[in-house]
Amino acid sequence: MKNRFRIETYRIRGLSYEIGLILTLLPILLITVGGITSVNASSNEISCFERGIVDGEDHPFNQRTYNNCGDDYHQGFLEGCMSVEGNTREVCESATDA
């Protein structure tokens, strides 16, 4: 009986430790993941200017998006393109010529 009580006590303590660990790590994970913000270029919730910035940083000029958005997309694309080290306005302007 005494040994069984020790085993049960150990299980409860072990379980309490695991629950405590989970309750400690879960908020850290949620804060970390929740704090990460990104702009999804395919989302309809972002502006044409923001889409242009995303494309200018890492994607080719999107003529279809430009046709839908106009100058806002173009200006965002130029800003995003020029934020890349080594790019000049001339290089970025030539990337928009299709």
Task: Classify 87 as helix, strand or coil.
Answer: coil
Cα dihedral across residues 23, 24, 29, 35: positive or negative: positive
* Mean pLDDT calculated for residue range 63-76: 94
Residue 91 pLDDT exceeds 70: yes
Domain boundaries, the chain: 1-37, 48-96
Query: What angle do helix axes 71-82 and 89-96 make, rounded to 10 degrees?
Result: 140
Q: What is the CA radius of gyration of the chain?
A: 26
Task: Identify which of 5-19, 28-42, 60-74 has the greatest average pLDDT.
Answer: 60-74
At residue 85, the pLDDT reads: 93
- Give the integer Cα–Cα distance in Å for 56 and 81: 4
